[in-house]
Amino acid sequence: MALIEASGIDKIYRLGDFELHALDKVSTVIDKGEFVAVMGPSGSGKSTFMNVLGCLDKPTAGHYFLEGTDVGGLDRDELASIRNKKLGFVFQGFNLLARTSAVENVELPMLYDGLAAKERRSRAMDALKSVGLEGREGHHPNQLSGGQQQRVAIARALVNSAPIILADEPTGNLDTKTSIEIMELFVRLNTESNITVIVVTHEPDIATYSKRIIKFLDGRIISDTHQEGGP
Amino acid sequence: MINIPSTVKISLRALRVNKMRSALTMLGIIIGVGAVIAMLAVGTGASMQIAAQISSMGSNLLIILPGATTSGGVRMGSGTQPTLTMADAEAIQRESPAVSDVAPVLSGVAQAVFGHQNWSTGVQGTTPGMLNVRDWELSSGRPFTDQDVKSATKVCLLGQTVVDNLFGDDNPVGQVIRIKSVPFVVIGVLAEKGQSPNGQDQDDTIYIPVTTAQKKLFGTSFPGMVRIIMVKARSAEDLGPAEKQINELIRQRHHIGQKQENDFTVRNLTQVMQAAEQSTKVMTLLLGAIASVSLLVGGIGIMNIMLVSVTERTREIGIRMAIGAKTWDIRLQFIIEALTLSLTGGVIGIIFGVSGSKIIAMVAGWTTVVSPLSIVMAFGFSGLVGIFFGFYPAYKASLLDPIEALRYE
């Protein structure tokens, strides 16, 4: 059973009489432990595809199976629960809660999973340690550098032991050196913890860290190539 | 499963971030709750004062007044014809089952003298039943008895005001005072009663046996004549039957024919006072209702601020949703925020309301009574306001599209 199976996914936005095919019969399979880069120019449908994979958006037609479950039939709260337990999000703009310490940001997913405060705290501390932020637990996002903020976001994505991390332009706001550090962190999580990482990027340099590149154009997959991972 | 303590913590943090805004939003509720409590305290105080006056007058009280004289078509006011007698009073006591006590009264104003103090006051000739009729206790000494009435002894009971004016701080019991130069032995002092509903000092009075009044002080041409008869019914329910029985009995005794008018009037004072009490209660409700409007306005203020807050924090809501917050996680977060605002405002409002009503009592000299019920109600009501006006913003927040919310700048 594939971890992710997309079959014939259409996403159509209706703008008055005009129909925009953001995704046009996209089918693909991603297995556990893969490191996939999703590439394409803006407007190619890669972000829409990520939103569908992230259970933030529902396809207009077609089926998306996540660990064999057809996500299309789930309601709002069931989707929230899947996002909570199976998916970790890393965004370009970090999307941490302001005025909230690093450790409390990392605790959030567990809060919505109903874990006790004590367990939340100890797991959040462990997650922060694993991304190399030991000693920064009490810092607020505005006291952390961009790279550190992105590490907090990655810790937040990891903390519920989600099998999949979805990263949307994770290095878009970071300098080259920090970008390399973050991508190496993803590689480590992929190889050491067998976490499936899907990264959306438009930078070829970033894509070289992946083992597979899916290219989008006009809502369709135009190429799907495997490569030997990492420089 | 929703984690309430953590949700509360999140809500409190959000409120702390905007301290000024939270405080101003609360102000609406503070004023509303404070106003409700203070207004109810004023109203409750007024109706309790009236209730106290009713009971000081004596409960279940009927007063029988002599009727009006008609001479040559000119009808004089009620009480102008001396028609009531001791015998009428005794007949009521004897024959009306709804009546528990009867006190005929023959009164007048007279000068009382003790040593070189003198005091002009109302002197009431009556029977021992009077103390029961008026629910009046003695603070010292003994009441006069049927024997005193029968033999018209020269004994008297003094009201506190009379004691204060004639004796100062001395004990009057056993002393002899002169009323219209007639010596009377003081045998007791009436407990202090305060003002009557129409503002008279009820303690400015002297009670003497009715026979003594007739024979020694206010001698009349009609033997056995009394000015009024006061009657106490057995209970509030007996007031109606008592009134009817007395009417029938006295009409019969006075030989009043079917088509003739009564030569006496029975007045139900309690009824009059209860009407007054009723109108104060209506007044209290009215005051409370007006004050509630400000509470309502405070609630709308909460809704307003919560709507602004939801818009400002769209991105935060998006992050929470992406991470796995469910519909009710988001709703509860905002409802608890609203509830915290309204309940905190409610508690502060209660403090303001209670101290406000104390200040009103001090400055205006009104009796104000803060009932525990009004505090519980105000607190509960402010909670309801929070939930009611917090729900819509919370509902709106929970329906945001996570993708749109994450994109919100």
Residue A13 one-letter amino acid: Y
Contact A112 B320 (CB under 8 A): yes
Domain boundary among B214, B236, B262: B262
- Give dist(CA B66, CA B80) in Å, integer: 7
Clarify whether residues B147 and B180 are in a common domain. yes
Strand partners for B186: B156
Q: What was the pLDDT predicted at B75? A: 60
The proportion of chain A whose per-residue pLDDT surpasses 90, expressed as a percent, equals 81
Q: pLDDT at residue B8 above 90?
A: no
**Interface contact A112-B406, CB threshold 8 A:** no
Instruction: Verify that B87 and B192 share a domain, yes or no.
Output: yes
B99 with B201, same domain?
yes
Q: Are B294 and B378 in contact (CB under 8 A)?
A: no
The pLDDT > 70 percentage for chain A reads 98
**Residue B407 contacts A, CB cutoff 8 Å:** no
What's the confidence (pLDDT) of residue B5? 81
Instruction: Identify the pLDDT of residue B200.
Output: 79
Check B406 against A57: CB less than 8 A apart.
no
> 3-class DSSP state for residue B220?
coil
Residues B329 and B372 in one domain: yes
Do residue A76 and residue B326 have CB atoms under 8 angstroms apart?
yes
In a domain, B285, yes or no: yes
A6 three-class SS:
strand
Establish if B187 belongs to a structural domain: yes
Say if residue B217 is in the same domain as residue B333.
Answer: no
- Give me the mean pLDDT over the B95-111 stretch: 89
Q: Which residues of A touch B316 (CB under 8 A)?
A: 97-98
Number of compact structural domains in chain B: 2
Nearest by CB: B325 against A57, A112, A117: A112
CA distance, residue A228 to nearest chain B CA (Å)? 32
Of B3, B327, B402, the CB nearest to A111: B3
Q: Please indicate, yes or no, whether residues B178 and B287 belong to a single structural domain of this protein.
A: no
Considering the domain architecture, whether residues B258 and B290 belong to the same structural domain is answered as no
Q: Which of A86, A97, A107 to mutate to test the interface with B (most CBs of B within 10 A)?
A: A97
Q: CA-nearest residue of chain A to B327? A: A77
Residues of A in contact with B402 (CB under 8 A): 56
Same domain, B118 and B229: yes
Count the Cβ atoms, other than its own, within 10 Å of residue B138. Answer: 15
Residue B321 lies in a domain: yes
Prediction ipTM score: 0.94
pTM above 0.80, yes or no: no
Residues B240 and B388 in one domain: no
Question: Are A70 and A105 spatial neighbours (Cβ–Cβ below 8 Å)?
Answer: no
Q: Is residue B115 part of a domain?
A: yes
Where does the pLDDT of residue B76 fall: very low under 50, low under 70, confident under 90, or very high at 90 and above?
Answer: low
**Measuring CA to CA, how many Å separate B40 from each of A99, B45, B267, B299?**
43, 8, 32, 20
Interface test with B, best of A56, A89, A161 (most B CBs within 10 A): A56
Please indicate, yes or no, if residue B68 is contained in any of the structural domains.
no
In-domain check, residue B104: yes
Which pLDDT does position B51 carry in this prediction? 77
| B267-314 pLDDT tens trace | 887 777 778 878 888 888 898 888 889 889 999 999 999 999 999 999
**Which residue is closest to B7 within chain A, CA to CA?**
A111
**Helices and strands (H, E) in chain B, number of each type:** 13, 12
B100 and B195 assigned to the same domain: yes
Would you state the pLDDT for residue B26? 93
Q: What is the mean pLDDT of residues A172-197?
A: 94
Residue A136 CB burial class (10 angstroms; 0-12, 13-18, ≥19):
middle
Q: List % helix, strand, coil for chain A (3-state, nearest 5).
A: 35, 30, 35
pLDDT(B215) > 50: yes
CA distances from B8 to A157, B15, B244, B330, B391 (A): 24, 11, 66, 12, 16
Q: Which domain holds residue B218?
A: 82-262
Q: Is A117–B5 a contact, with Cβ atoms under 8 angstroms apart?
A: yes
Summarize pLDDT for B305-322 with one digit per residue, the tens: 999 999 999 999 999 999
**In a 3-state reduction of DSSP, which class is residue B104?**
strand
Test the A interface: residue of B323, B328, B399 with most A CBs within 10 Å: B323
A84–B323 CB contact, under 8 Å:
yes
Q: Produce one character per residue of A75-94: b if its CB has 16 or more CB atoms within 10 Å, e if not.
A: eeeebbbbbbbbbbbbbbbb
Nearest CB partner across the interface for B319, out of A51, A77, A95: A95
> Facing residues of B118 across strands?
B113
Query: pLDDT by residue (tens digit) across A127-182?
Result: 999 999 999 999 999 999 999 999 999 999 999 999 999 999 999 999 999 999 99
Which residues in chain A have their CB less than 8 angstroms from residue B17's CB?
99
Q: How does residue A231 score in pLDDT terms, banded at 50, 70 and 90?
A: very low
What pLDDT is attached to residue A64? 94
In a domain, B387, yes or no: yes
- Chain A residues 85-114 with a CB less than 8 Å from chain B: 85, 89, 91, 95-100, 108-109, 111-114
For range B170-199, the mean pLDDT: 87
Domain match, B289 and B252 both: no
Question: Highest-confidence range of A213-227, B10-24, B70-84, by mean pLDDT?
Answer: A213-227
| B325-378 residue pLDDT tens | 999 999 999 999 999 999 999 999 999 999 999 999 999 888 888 989 989 998
**Residues 6+ positions from B336 with CB-CB distance below 8 Å:** B7, B8, B11
Contact B324 A77 (CB under 8 A): no
Q: Which of B217, B237, B262 is the last residue of a domain?
A: B262
**A80 close to B (CB below 8 A):** yes
Q: How far apart are CA A61 and CA B358, in angstroms?
A: 70
Tell me how close the Cα of A170 comes to any Cα of chain B, in angstroms. Answer: 15
Final residue belonging to a domain, choices B262, B283, B311? B262
Residue B198 has pLDDT above 90, yes or no: no
Looking at residue A120, its pLDDT comes to 93
In a domain, B62, yes or no: no
Q: Which among A71, A72, A39 is positioned nearest to A168, based on CA atoms?
A: A39
Closest-CA distance of chain B to residue A231, Å: 32
A74 touching chain B per CB within 8 A: no
In this structure, the answer to whether residues B238 and B280 fall within a common structural domain is no
Nearest CA in chain B to A85: B324
* Mean of all residue pLDDT scores within chain B: 87
Kindly report, residue by residue over A2-51, the tens digit of the pLDDT: 899 999 999 998 888 888 889 999 999 999 999 999 999 988 999 899 99
Q: Distance (Å) from the C-alpha of residue A77 to the closest C-alpha of chain B? A: 5
